Chains A and B, each alone.
Chain A
Amino acid sequence: GAGVSQSPSNKVTEKGKDVELRCDPISGHTALYWYRQRLGQGLEFLIYFQGNSAPDKSGLPSDRFSAERTGESVSTLTIQRTQQEDSAVYLCASTQGGATIGYTFGSGTRLTVV
C-alpha cells in the first residue's frame, strides 16, 4: 500500500481482556517496528523485526506483550490481560532498511483500558 496502515484506529477494552493490534507495512519494507506513546510521554521502543532475523524484543515491558510478523508482511501486537497502564497510542513504523533511511509511521492505534 501507499503507507503504513494500522487497525483498529481506536480500541476500548475492559481490564483483563486480550487485544490484538495490526500493522500493514509498506510493501517491500523489510524492517518493522512497534512503539508505544503514553499520554504526555515520548515514544517507547517495544519490538523490531528485520527480515527473517530473530526479532529484537528488548523493549517489551512484560510477558503479557508479544508480537509476530510473517516474512515481510503484516505484524500483530498482542497484549494479554490488559491493564490500565497499557492505555497508550501504539505506533507501527516500517523502513526499507535501517533507521538511516527514515521510518514511515502509521497513524497508530489508540488503546484505552477501562
Chain B
Amino acid sequence: AQSVTQLDSQVPVFEEAPVELRCNYSSSVSVYLFWYVQYPNQGLQLLLKYLSGSTLVESINGFEAEFNKSQTSFHLRKPSVHISDTAEYFCAVSLSSNTGKLIFGQGTTLQVKP
C-alpha cells in the first residue's frame, strides 16, 4: 500500500526567504506525485504534478518540486515566498496505473510572516 509522509506540520518563514516543504512516499510500484494547496477559506487546488519525464516540475507561481526516486521524495521549494503563499500544502501519490485514487499526506501549513 502507498503512504505519504509530510515531515513538518507547520513551517513559519519570513517573506522573501526560501522555503522547502518536505514529502516522502512509500510504494512498491511506480507512482505519480502531486502537490495540492488550500488557501484560507478556499478549496484544494492542484499546484503541480510529476507523471513522467523531467524530474523537476514547476508551477505558475514559482514553486517547484523534484522527484527523487532513490530517496522516494518529492519536496516542494520556492526561492522567495510571498505573504500570499500562506496556505496549507498537501503532498499526494497515486499509482501510475492510474486507478484514480490519491493518497494524501497530513499537510504542511506554510505561514509567511512580513
A contacts, CB < 8 Å to B: 4, 31, 33, 35, 40-45, 48, 50, 56, 91, 93, 95, 97-100, 102-103, 105-108
Contact = CB atoms under 8 A, between A and B. Distances in A.
B43 A100 contact: no
A98 B34 CA distance: 13
B101 A48 contact: yes
Q: Chain B: interface residue count, which band?
A: 20 to 34
Contacts of A42: 4, 6, 90, 104-107
A82 to B, nearest CB: 24
A7 to B, nearest CB: 14
B46 to A, nearest CB: 4
Nearest to B6: A42
13 contacts: A35-B104, A42-B107, A45-B101, A56-B99, A56-B101, A97-B100, A99-B32, A99-B100, A99-B102, A105-B43, A105-B45, A107-B42, A107-B43
A41 B88 CA distance: 11
B51 interface: yes
Interface string B26-43: 000000101010000011
B87 interface: no
Nearest to A45: B101
A98 B100 contact: yes
Contacts of A106: 43
